[in-house]
């Protein structure tokens, strides 16, 4: 592990180690926001969606989008610096995703793997599930299939074909409360799928149990608060940069038409306070910064592509979000959409809140 600048630390897991690497966070120090460097994964996904109707060679597009996405991450950290996490300030831990994946795969060994992590699906059986939320991100509805994935029961049925004698190893990107991991293990056990071990890339100590439903949980990186009453105050949080880029990922939310969409971690769609502990008084300021950071990203992407990036170019789950809320047609330029959201932020906050209330009236406690 090495320091880069005063508030930015690059964390590089050592794939040769056979025990967790402990990362201590002083309870009286700066609030620590832990992010994987998801650049390679995110750029690959963006290239697939944006390359249509463009004569730009794939390698050139990838290079340009990588540069643009890194600039977006700089803007994201700047927006967090400009908002309040208390008098102690904020620090960033950026985890090397490639080294983390190497460590996870080494710990898995040669046995069969079920992966909940979209960054670790090669040579694994993916289980595409997430926790679903009402719009706003404050109320969880239970485990749901990721947008456009098969129903969870059908996904689990495929795991019952030729089950391994000694059970599966379950891979997860990170564990904070442990709710998602516990829910998945419970569903698998109820279906007769044996899970012998769970390996999260990152775990926050004090927020999740060391074992879940009889399954050992062995993280590669173990974060822990030291030097104070750690449980009394939130001192760290986990997220990924792509959760803040429109159409790249985000929270799985129930839409007014009762389908599932993806929403970025900023207003008017999702409470950043609920997701990563941002002070509520700064949510709107942060959202306006994110709108501008997103606008710059898509403007740069359009310059590289030689065409306007439109809502139709975004992930289907994000398109559904925008269309179902009446925010945009598929032909609307993304930059125009973002500018409009900023101008009418208060109105859209109210619209999203009302839509969330309506979609929650008949929402089940858990969806399978």
Strands 221-226 and 236-239: unpaired
72 has a pLDDT exceeding 60: yes
Label residue 5 by pLDDT band (50, 70, 90): very low
Residues 174-229: tens digit of each pLDDT? 998 888 999 999 999 999 999 999 999 999 976 555 678 899 999 999 999 998 65
Ranges 96-105, 198-207, 222-231, 287-296, most confident: 287-296
Q: Closest Cα partner for 9 from 27, 29, 48, 35?
A: 35
Dist CA 156 CA 332 (whole Å)? 38
Residues 242-271: tens digit of each pLDDT? 999 999 999 999 999 999 999 999 999 999
Ranges 158-162, 191-195, 316-320, most confident: 316-320
Q: Is 353 exposed, middle or buried (0-12, 13-18, 19+ CB in 10 A)?
A: middle
Buried b (16+ CB within 10 A) or exposed e, 163-196: eeeebbbbbbbbbbebebbbbbbebbeeeebebe
Ranges 16-30, 94-108, 333-347, most confident: 333-347
Residues 106-129: tens digit of each pLDDT? 998 878 899 998 878 776 889 999
pTM of the model: 0.93
At a CB cut-off of 8 Å and minimum separation 6, what does 115 contact? 121, 124, 125, 126, 127, 170, 171
């Amino acid at each position: 592990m090495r320091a880069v600048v005063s508030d930015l630390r690059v964390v590089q897991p050592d794939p040769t180690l056979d025990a967790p690497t402990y990362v201590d966070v002083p309870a009286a120090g700066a609030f620590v926001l832990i992010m994987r460097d998801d650049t390679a994964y995110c750029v690959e996904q963006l290239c697939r969606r944006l390359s249509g109707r463009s004569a730009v060679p794939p390698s050139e597009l990838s290079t340009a989008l990588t540069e643009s996405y890194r600039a977006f991450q700089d803007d994201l950290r700047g927006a967090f610096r400009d908002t309040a996490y208390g008098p102690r300030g904020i620090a960033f831990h950026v985890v090397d995703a490639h080294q983390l994946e190497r460590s996870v795969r080494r710990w898995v060994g040669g046995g069969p793997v079920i992966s909940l992590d979209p960054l670790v699906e090669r040579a694994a059986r993916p289980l595409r599930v997430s926790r679903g939320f009402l719009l706003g991100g404050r109320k969880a509805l239970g485990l749901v299939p990721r947008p456009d994935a098969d129903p969870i029961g059908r996904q689990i049925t495929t795991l019952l074909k030729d089950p391994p004698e000694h059970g599966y190893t379950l891979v997860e990107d990170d564990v904070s409360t442990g709710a998602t991991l516990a829910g998945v293990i419970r569903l698998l056990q109820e279906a007769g799928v044996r899970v012998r071990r769970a390996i999260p890339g990152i775990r926050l100590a004090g927020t999740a149990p060391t074992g879940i439903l009889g399954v050992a949980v062995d993280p590669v990186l173990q974060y822990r608060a030291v030097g104070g009453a750690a449980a009394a105050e939130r001192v760290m949080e986990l997220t990924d940069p792509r959760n803040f880029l429109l159409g790249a990922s985000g929270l799985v939310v129930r839409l007014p038409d009762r389908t599932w969409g993806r929403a970025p971690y900023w207003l008017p769609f999702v409470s950043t306070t609920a997701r990563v502990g941002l002070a509520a008084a700064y949510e709107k300021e942060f959202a306006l910064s994110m709108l501008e950071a997103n606008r710059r990203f898509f403007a740069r992407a359009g310059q590289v592509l030689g065409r306007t990036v439109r809502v139709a170019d975004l992930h289907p789950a994000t398109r559904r979000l925008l269309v179902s809320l009446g925010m945009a047609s598929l032909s609307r330029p993304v930059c125009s959409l973002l500018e409009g959201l900023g101008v009418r932020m208060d109105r859209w906050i109210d619209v999203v809140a009302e839509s969330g209330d309506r979609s929650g009236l008949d929402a089940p406690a858990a969806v399978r």
